[in-house]
Amino acid sequence: MPRRFGLAEENSHREYEIRRLLIGNHLALDTIDDETCSVHVIGFRPSRRLPRPNDLPEVD
């Protein structure tokens, strides 16, 4: 149930949905591919670090 995690601050900077999962003091950023029923981790950063949307992949 990956949709149970909230949207990341970076979500407003990309066309695809970006969710966040808190792991200790870090955030794992991921996106859900409904077509293949898979979750792709697209970033990992310390939770106190400001979002860096330019580091995220563009839509293919």
User: Around Cβ 33, how many Cβ atoms within 10 Å?
Assistant: 10
Task: Provide the pLDDT for residue 1.
Answer: 85
Strands 26-33 and 19-23: antiparallel
The span from the CA of 36 to the CA of 46, in Å, is 29
Question: Residue 60: pLDDT above 60?
Answer: no
Strands 26-33 and 38-46: antiparallel
Stated pTM of the model: 0.79
Task: Provide the pLDDT for residue 53.
Answer: 75
Task: Give residue-wise pLDDT tens across range 4-59.
Answer: 999 998 898 888 899 999 999 999 999 999 999 999 999 888 888 877 777 777 77
